Amino acid sequence: MRGFSLTLTGLLAATSGAAAASQLQQPLGVSATDSRPNIILTLTDDQDLLMDSINNMPELNHHLREKGTFYRNHFVTTAICCLSRASLLTGRLAHNTNITDVNPPYGEGVSKFNTLYTGKIFNAHTVDNYNTPFINGFNASDFLLDPYTYSYLNATFQRNHDVPVSYEGQYSTDVLVDKSLGFLHDAVHEASPFFLTIAPLAPHSNVQSNGPIDPQSPLKITAPPAAARHQHLFPDAQVPRTLNFNPDELNDSNIEHNDHFYRQRLRALQPNDILDNTYIVYTSDNGYHLSQHRLQAGKECGFEEDIRVPFFIRGPGVAANHTEKAVTTHIDFAPTLFEMAGLPLRSDFDGVPMPLHHVVQGPGEKARHEHVTVEFWGIAIPESGSLDAEIPPTYAVRIHSTDYDLYYSVWCSNEHQLYDLKTDPYELNNLYPDPTGLQTETTILGYPVTQVINRLDALLLVLKSYQGFDAFYYHQKKVSYSRCEYGYLVDDRSHLSGWY
Ligand SMILES: *[C@@H]1O[C@H](CO)[C@@H](O)[C@H](O)[C@H]1NC(C)=O
Ligand SMILES: *[C@@H]1O[C@H](CO)[C@@H](O)[C@H](O)[C@H]1NC(C)=O
Ligand SMILES: *[C@@H]1O[C@H](CO)[C@@H](O)[C@H](O)[C@H]1NC(C)=O
Ligand SMILES: *[C@@H]1O[C@H](CO)[C@@H](O)[C@H](O)[C@H]1NC(C)=O
Ligand SMILES: *[C@@H]1O[C@H](CO)[C@@H](O)[C@H](O)[C@H]1NC(C)=O
């Protein structure tokens, strides 16, 4: 959108609750001649949906859930930060953004992303290269810089074209709060509407750094520290003991470590609070797993824990206290943003606008897509405990509807996973037939599993192409005649192409 477009790595927080509330009572960026809305996007880092984090955020529930719409079936299309942020903000799948890793050569980070946007920094945006060139496309910005992006108590920020500033000893999220309020304060005095992205580090794990990141030496990754005033919260909280939580595989000290990690994540989320009088969107770049599926702290997988994220919208015409069940994804956000701003949709969007202004009911609900394309590229990094089994690049589809609920993935090792979440919501029983032919008797919706897999393979191919179905269909062989025959012999199809 034209006008006052802001990007910053700040957070509106309960620490400054009173100040925040009074800011918000003023009309933001309202002008007599310009009725376009303001938009604030809060983008947390690694926040899960399935481990109850949102139920431990009273301010979020009060300001967004009760006053806006909760998209209960919202999925990311890739469960890793930079790729997911690129998809969120471009409306395109990772393999269509040309950014498929957090590091070169597949993720040139900043240098590739110049004309788009970033809130929190890509891994390649550092204290050494922040000005070669500066990120442009924003009227004002204040970015966290590597290698200090993930240091809660030693953040380095870089504002507009200024030199980087170290905030050693201050809690990163609190610094973001002040910066966000500063931007808001300036914004309310502008006549034009604004788009403000607030991308805090929380509840990402802490990565200690006192120098350049050395790819050769392992990173020191620990649970996020809490702000001093939040350290006492949630003393008894535990990772929910769902069926896919596997205590048999992890020893007691490991489990206690992960429960501690869990409490620290909840504590790190406490400063978050969001404001009023505009479209306010709250989400995360990816979900998180912590002991489920025998995995240590981390993301990057296609499991529900990793791909489902909180998604809330509050604003003009958006249903209050409403839970939307339609399947929505991160690539639907940019088209939604365009719709909010009254802009025509771009032709290169892979996503479609989310249901925003009204409750879709009845047959209309059926018209929305049920699929989510899920992909992972790059090198997965374990964030606590021992090294996990390697998480390979994966290409997958998640299909969610009232009648069926499936996850199907192909790994770069050509191993496969197929889960029927109708009967197996915790994804414990891989239905993909093993080479011995076991499980081929399985059926899904009455169809043999092998037949379902053929359809899923075809669907994966369709969804892989640029802009989904239509481009894929366009490139298929067409039925055509090379000559007219007045009959058809099964062993002579030379006059027909495109037939099997
Ligand atoms: C923001 O940047 C755009 C593009 O450079 C410019 O047209 C606009 O006037 C700027 N807005 C403000 C409020 O400075
Ligand atoms: C994609 O990225 C590669 C590696 O950075 C680069 O060489 C190539 O030009 C990019 N292609 C497009 C279409 O941006
Ligand atoms: C904190 O960050 C600054 C750079 O911004 C660095 O010089 C300093 O060594 C860091 N301190 C610690 C304790 O890592
Ligand atoms: C528990 O498991 C962790 C991680 O696998 C391991 O490092 C640790 O030595 C184990 N502790 C005991 C007491 O077995
Ligand atoms: C929100 O809806 C739930 C039921 O769906 C209801 O119990 C609750 O009172 C509502 N809250 C508000 C603030 O309207």
What share of the chain in percent tops pLDDT 70?
Answer: 76
Element (H, E) at 312: strand 311-314
- How remote is the CA of residue 7 from the centroid of ligand 1, in Å? 13
Of the ranges 23-32, 154-163, 178-187, the best mean pLDDT one: 154-163
Q: Does residue 392 form part of some domain?
A: no
| Res 17: pLDDT | 29
Q: Does residue 95 form part of some domain?
A: yes
Tell me: do 468 and 325 sit in the same domain: no
Q: Does residue 388 form part of some domain?
A: no
Q: Does residue 374 form part of some domain?
A: no
Q: Ligand 4 pocket test: pick from 253, 256, 261 the residue with the most ligand atoms within 8 Å of its Cβ.
A: 253
**Is 81 one of the annotated active-site residues of the chain?**
yes
> Does 292 score more than 70 pLDDT?
yes
Please list, residue by residue across 36-66, b when 16 or more beta carbons sit within 10 angstroms of its beta carbon and e when fewer do: bbbbbbbbbbbbbbbbebbebbebbeebbbe
- How remote is the CA of residue 98 from the centroid of ligand 2, in Å? 6
Q: Which residue has the tokens 């790190």?
A: 268
List, for residues 70-80, the tens digit of each pLDDT value.
Answer: 999 999 999 88
Tell me: do 53 and 175 sit in the same domain: yes
Q: Which residue has the tokens 């205590």?
A: 247
Tell me: do 466 and 332 sit in the same domain: no
| Res 147: pLDDT | 86
Tell me: do 106 and 218 sit in the same domain: yes
List, for residues 87-105, the tens digit of each pLDDT value.
Answer: 887 888 888 877 766 655 5
Tell me: do 278 and 147 sit in the same domain: yes
**CA-nearest residue, atom 14 of ligand 3:** 210
Residue 12 and residue 177 in contact, taking contact as beta carbons nearer than 8 Å:
yes
List, for residues 394-437, the tens digit of each pLDDT value.
Answer: 999 999 998 999 999 999 988 999 999 999 999 999 999 887 76
Please list, residue by residue across 273-283, b when 16 or more beta carbons sit within 10 angstroms of its beta carbon and e when fewer do: bbbbbbbbbbb
Euclidean distance between the first and the last CA atom of the chain, given in angstroms as a whole number: 49
| Per-residue confidence band for 122, with pLDDT thresholds at 50, 70 and 90 | low
| Res 15: pLDDT | 24
Q: Does residue 382 form part of some domain?
A: no
> Does 64 score more than 50 pLDDT?
yes
d(CA 470, CA 462): 9
> Does 379 score more than 90 pLDDT?
no
| Per-residue confidence band for 306, with pLDDT thresholds at 50, 70 and 90 | very high
Tell me: do 285 and 414 sit in the same domain: no
Q: Let me know the angle formed at the C-alpha of 332 by 159 and 113, rounded to the nearest 5 degrees.
A: 35
Strands 165-168, 4-8: pairing is unpaired
Domain boundary among 299, 315, 340: 340
Q: Does residue 362 form part of some domain?
A: no
The verdict on the CB of residue 370 being under 6 Å from ligand 2 is: no
Tell me: do 472 and 332 sit in the same domain: no
Which CATH number fits the domain that encloses residue 108? 3.40.720.10
What's the chain's average pLDDT?
Answer: 79
Q: Does residue 249 form part of some domain?
A: yes
Residue 126 and residue 209 in contact, taking contact as beta carbons nearer than 8 Å:
no
- How remote is the CA of residue 269 from the centroid of ligand 3, in Å? 24
| Res 6: pLDDT | 26
| Per-residue confidence band for 226, with pLDDT thresholds at 50, 70 and 90 | very high
Tell me: do 31 and 106 sit in the same domain: yes
**Residue that wins the pLDDT comparison between 6 and 267:** 267
Domain that holds residue 244: 4-340
The verdict on the CB of residue 251 being under 6 Å from ligand 4 is: yes
Ligand nearest to the CA of residue 144, numbered in listed order: 3
List, for residues 164-200, the tens digit of each pLDDT value.
Answer: 999 999 999 889 888 887 877 777 666 666 778 888 8
Q: At what angle do helices 333-340 and 81-90 cross, to 10 degrees?
A: 40
Tell me: do 56 and 179 sit in the same domain: yes
Ligand 3 atom closest to 127 (CA): 5
| Per-residue confidence band for 37, with pLDDT thresholds at 50, 70 and 90 | confident
Number of domains the chain is built from: 2
List, for residues 311-332, the tens digit of each pLDDT value.
Answer: 999 988 899 999 999 999 999 9
Domain boundary among 340, 366, 393: 340
Tell me: do 323 and 420 sit in the same domain: no
Ligand nearest to the CA of residue 296, numbered in listed order: 4
The verdict on the CB of residue 141 being under 6 Å from ligand 1 is: no
| Res 188: pLDDT | 67
The verdict on the CB of residue 320 being under 6 Å from ligand 5 is: no
Average pLDDT over residues 143-166: 91
Q: Give the pair of three-digit tokens for residue 457.
A: 């393979």
Q: Give the pair of three-digit tokens for residue 232.
A: 């006492």
Ligand 2 atom closest to 98 (CA): 1
**CA-nearest residue, atom 1 of ligand 3:** 154
Tell me: do 305 and 417 sit in the same domain: no
The verdict on the CB of residue 386 being under 6 Å from ligand 4 is: yes
| Res 10: pLDDT | 27
Tell me: do 191 and 331 sit in the same domain: yes
Of the ranges 19-28, 65-74, 194-203, the best mean pLDDT one: 65-74
Average pLDDT over residues 362-379: 76
> Does 383 score more than 70 pLDDT?
yes
Q: Does residue 383 form part of some domain?
A: no
The verdict on the CB of residue 402 being under 6 Å from ligand 2 is: no
Q: Ligand 2 pocket test: pick from 83, 95, 98, 113 the residue with the most ligand atoms within 8 Å of its Cβ.
A: 98
The verdict on the CB of residue 192 being under 6 Å from ligand 1 is: yes
Domain boundary among 312, 340, 368: 340
The verdict on the CB of residue 108 being under 6 Å from ligand 2 is: yes
Q: For residue 8, give every residue at least 6 positions away whose Cβ sits within 8 Å of its Cβ, in sequence order, or none.
A: 119, 140, 141, 142, 143, 176, 179, 180, 183, 196, 197, 198, 199
